[in-house]
Amino acid sequence: MHMVVSGAEVWDLVAGAGLWNMRSVEGDGDPDASDAADEFLSYARDVGVCAEETLADGFAAVREVQRTLQSMLDGLLERGLAVYGRRVTRTLVGGVIEDPQPFDVTHLVVLDGEELRARLGIDDA
């Protein structure tokens, strides 16, 4: 996964995805930060679900959504949280489906500084 730093990146990750695998910041350290992370992930999922309708409304609508996502990302960074994400293509096979069916899965994870340092193996000592 890579660090997601722009609303346009979030749009590219969620628009048109078939599934979303999202994980909010862990722990109860800062309730405001946790709420902001949850709100961001919920909005990002909603953006993915409604992407076709947003595209039908035109480029200005897409840009407005991207600006909102950017504002939310900036708010997370101000709270010491980082968003990491990726989009992978999976293939559904078997059952009553004759041909393999590809679908995209978006992964978004919100990490706080402590968890990020632990994952990167950075010791604060």
Indicate whether 34 belongs to any domain: yes
CA distances (Å), 80 to each of 33, 119, 125, in order?
Answer: 8, 15, 19
User: Domain tally for the chain?
Assistant: 1
Quick: pLDDT tens for 6-65: 999 999 999 999 899 999 988 767 889 999 999 999 999 999 999 999 999 999 999 999
Is residue 79, in this structure, part of any structural domain at all? yes
With respect to residue 116, please indicate whether it lies within any of the assigned structural domains: yes
69, part of any domain: yes
Flag whether 10 is in a domain. Answer: yes
- Provide the pLDDT for residue 124: 62
Q: Which domain covers residue 49, as residue numbers?
A: 2-120
Helices (H), 15-124: 31-49, 51-56, 59-78, 113-120
Return the pLDDT at 81. Answer: 93
Domain presence at residue 20 = yes
Query: pTM score, two decimals?
Result: 0.86
pLDDT at 119: 65
Listed residue (67, 77, 87, 69) closest to 110, CA to CA: 77
Structure tokens at 87: 């989009």
Domain presence at residue 125: no
Looking at the domain assignment, is residue 7 inside a domain? yes
